[in-house]
Structure 1
Amino acid sequence: MTHSTKSWLLALAGATMLLATPALANETIRIGAPLPLTGPLSPEGLKQQRGYDLWAETVNAAGGVTAGDTTYDVEIVYVDYESQTPRAVQTAERLITADDVNFLFAPFGSGAAKAASSVAERYQIPMVAATASSVEVYDQGYQYLFGTFTPNNTLTDPLARIVADSGEDISTVAIYARNDLFPLAIAKEMEKSAGDNGIEVISFDEYAIGTMDHASAMTLLMRSKPDWIFATGYINDLILIRRQMADLGIEPKALTMLAGPAYKEFIEATGDHSNNVSSAAWWHPAVAYDGEGVFGPTSDFVTAFEAKYDATPDYAEASAAAAGVVLQLAIEDAGTIEPSAVRDALAAMDVMTFYGPVHFGENGQIDSLEPPVFQIQDGATKTIYPEEIKQADMRFGGIE
């Protein structure tokens, strides 16, 4: 064998050895996320996606999720269910059976989350719901469902107390609700909260999903001359309702809407008519928690969000990011991605995050948060409750 041939063989053997040496790469955790990325609920679905994406990118940039001796990168597998709940259930099952996801983030809202939770339970895959508050989601006895929104009465009770104790002589309320699981459920909670605080509910009307004209309903509603109007729906509904109220000159002493005024898009779409609209949410950028997890304190999360999206995060975006944080903490605490072990870690969780304190009740719904109440004043949201984050007193009357 010539010297040159020997050298060539040695070089080839060395190259072969290098190719055979496994690259030091992380393994991957796949999280399925069925979302309404098109259709009437797409604004809400896109908000959840922004929160999930920020969490995943931040985790991967920090080195991934460590479970025992293994480190994982995060991959979120999105499927658009086009704002159709039956399709959300189908896509959740497909994500588990065909896409081999390890965990699930729930579809948007209480109705779709409740429907899809049966799939997660059947396959025993932990599912974290970032935007489901209605108790009807959590009364099924399921073990693999966890939600980052407190029950609806944690929003309606403080709102009713604030209005009742305002000294503004507000004794009646008219409730106008979208006929959908969350909007109708929170309207019914307000019916109870108002009554508990001495405010008479003089009308309770529902509107169908997809309603594009509320003028007639608003005109009928105003015949009883309510002091307070409480309207529920999603952002596109509430923008339309507020515009049509303005066109009709309807300006009650108090106007509360859930859940749309938390979004900057509501203020941009309604302009001056957004002023003095009150609302409540499960999170607000004004809160300040020294959190565990990849984002650390609230201020660092807000800074990271603003840097990525050039916008201030709202409660839906924050809750989606928090869903990722709690799932990550549960995986790290379990030391494995085995579903039942992660489920047990979620059930036992008691931790402070940028989103606030996280502890799940026996039904899987978070029971540790005190949601902020806020009002749009001078074109910006201002917190009015709880006291420790209060930025302004509640204003009454029409736009100023």
Structure 2
Amino acid sequence: MKVGKRVNGEQAKSIKQPPDSPAPNLESSPDKNLPESMSRRRTLIAGATAAAGAAVMLGRSHRAFAAPDPAKEIRIGYISPRSGNLGAFNKSDPYMLSLIRKALANGITIGGETYTVKILDRDGQSSPARASQLARELIHKDHIHLMLTTSTPETVNPVSDACEAEGVPSIGTDCPLESFYFGRGGKQGHFKWAFDFSFGVAQFVDAYLAQWPLVETNKKVAVMYPNDADGNGFRGHLAPILEKNGYKVIDPGAYADGTTDFSSQIALFRRERCEIFNEVGLPSDIQAFWRQAAQLHFLQDLKIAQFSKSGSFAGQIEALGPLGYNVSAATFWAPGFPYKSPLTGGTSKELADGYEKAENEIWAEQQGATLALFEVGVAALKAAKNPTDHAAIRDVIPNIDMITTLGRVNFKKGPYPNTATTPMIGAQWVKTPPGSKFPLDWVVVSNAEDPNVPIQRKLVPYSL
């Protein structure tokens, strides 16, 4: 796999074109087969009835006239994990959905017609089975026009599979491209309705190869890749590229999600004297591993602790206490991202500040992904010839090329069918000075994937 740098491009042009619904014909005419006298009488009765109906209508409140036309309502399904093992990913959803609903409160205008937008959000509970069930309910009971989904293959893949089976367009994000594509079969013909814009192996490698040389190490990497879509994606695609770039990957083999005893893996890492750690496991598993690794004196040997799936949110790091200080991560969004939202018009700094003020918690990278997901979804609706027709929406998604809160999203370039990339930026969790509002801060330490994002400080070694 070729690893290349990404440069954000210009904002894509918007395309607009929609449908119309014919008004029902409420007129009735006299029956020509009736005698003239009866025909005249029937006409007079019909006229009187119509006049009475008009009088009644005039006596009603204005609300009767303002009732939305069901044909002009667009229903968007949204599934994310807000509880369960992955609940930290979408803890910001209530705040973000309120912003998005506010931005769409007046509907969207397409081809001169205004459509109301209804967002039906559901909690996938970190369960693939539950996410799949909810997707089918939204499709069959709520008759959604577009599905949006986010946060790891455990949610995005089953939702995408359900939409693929039912012929409903779906857009996902925050699901590694290899996990989405190869984890769902990896055959081009299988991908007709589901799309994913996210980071992939190339973006992780770019971030790692820019970040890891900032600290001197022996280039031995201890990896914890489970037997799931993310783990198999990293093992099959990322590890070989690290090896080609001079790193020795020490892989104890795939482990089952929910494992509680990691002593054998830790013993192997210590024997190999690994100085870099990398993971893509469930947060609860990695936290259990990390505590055991401290007890068995492996963390004392590390110089770079590179978290992926389990180091993206403050709650995950705070749960580790002092063991979480100086953990490295790669982020797909931060307050320093220089792109304004085409949906809300706000900056990334305003988005982060607003969340911190409202929730009294540090910003979360998922804020940027959730907002970008709706930005892309609305762009697809506006570009469709008929924003309430599944096929019309599906057909325009492969041509989307736009600037979002995350940066450029270009489905024309892949790297796989129905996918687009977003950048990964090197970051590190650091302890804040006494008296700070939050105990931890997440700072940008490298920006190889997007030089437009400013670096805040140098990477420091992990030390226990």
Residues 208-230 of structure 1: per-residue CA shift (max 9 Å, x gap): 11123434532343222112121
Query: Superposition RMSD on alpha carbons, in Å?
Result: 2.9
Measure how far apart 1:382 and its partner are.
1.3
- Identify the match of residue 282 of structure 1 among 321, 332, 337: 332
Structure 1 residues 55 and 196: CA distance shift in structure 2, 3 A: farther
Corresponding residue for 1:381?
442
In 1: Cα distance, 2:95 partner to 2:376 partner: 13
For 1:1-400, what aligned pairs fall within 5 Å after superposition?
14=55, 16-19=57-60, 22-26=64-68, 27-47=72-92, 49-50=93-94, 53-61=97-105, 63-106=106-149, 108-138=151-181, 139-141=186-188, 142-163=191-212, 165-166=213-214, 168-249=216-297, 250-251=299-300, 252-334=302-384, 336-337=386-387, 338-360=389-411, 361-362=413-414, 363-367=417-421, 369-378=422-431, 379-386=440-447, 387-388=451-452, 389-399=454-464
Secondary structure of residue in 1 paired with 2:164: helix
In 2: Cα distance, 1:336 partner to 1:114 partner: 27
In 1: Cα distance, 2:430 partner to 2:257 partner: 29
AA aligned opposite 2:57: T
- Contact 1:28/1:74 (8 A) holds in 2: yes
Structure 1 residues 311 and 355: CA distance shift in structure 2, 3 A: farther
Corresponding residue for 1:4?
none
Secondary structure of residue in 2 paired with 1:245: helix
Measure how far apart 1:30 and its partner are.
1.8
Measure how far apart 1:187 and its partner are.
4.4
Residues 103-159 of structure 1: per-residue CA shift (max 9 Å, x gap): 112364224423332332233322111221132423343132222312133113331
Structure 1 residues 277 and 382: CA distance shift in structure 2, 3 A: same
- Contact 1:111/1:137 (8 A) holds in 2: no
Structure 1 residues 373 and 202: CA distance shift in structure 2, 3 A: same
- Contact 1:51/1:321 (8 A) holds in 2: no
AA aligned opposite 1:29: I
Secondary structure of residue in 1 paired with 2:223: strand
In 1: Cα distance, 2:309 partner to 2:393 partner: 31
- Contact 1:89/1:115 (8 A) holds in 2: yes
Measure how far apart 1:262 and its partner are.
2.2
Structure 1 residues 161 and 188: CA distance shift in structure 2, 3 A: farther
In 1: Cα distance, 2:341 partner to 2:121 partner: 27
Residues 164-216 of structure 1: per-residue CA shift (max 9 Å, x gap): x3361422111112322113423444412321221112334333111234345
Measure how far apart 1:344 and its partner are.
3.0
Identity %: 22
Measure how far apart 1:25 and its partner are.
4.6
Residues 56-93 of structure 1: per-residue CA shift (max 9 Å, x gap): 323234x2222233333333323444433233223312
In 2: Cα distance, 1:330 partner to 1:315 partner: 23
Equivalenced residue count is: 386
Measure how far apart 1:233 and its partner are.
1.4
Secondary structure of residue in 2 paired with 1:272: helix
In 1: Cα distance, 2:149 partner to 2:109 partner: 23
Measure how far apart 1:15 and its partner are.
5.1
Measure how far apart 1:374 and its partner are.
0.8
**Larger gyration radius, structure 1 or structure 2:** 2
TM-score normalised to structure 1 length: 0.85
- Structure 2 regions of 5+ residues with no counterpart? 1-50, 432-439
Measure how far apart 1:46 and its partner are.
4.1
AA aligned opposite 1:145: A
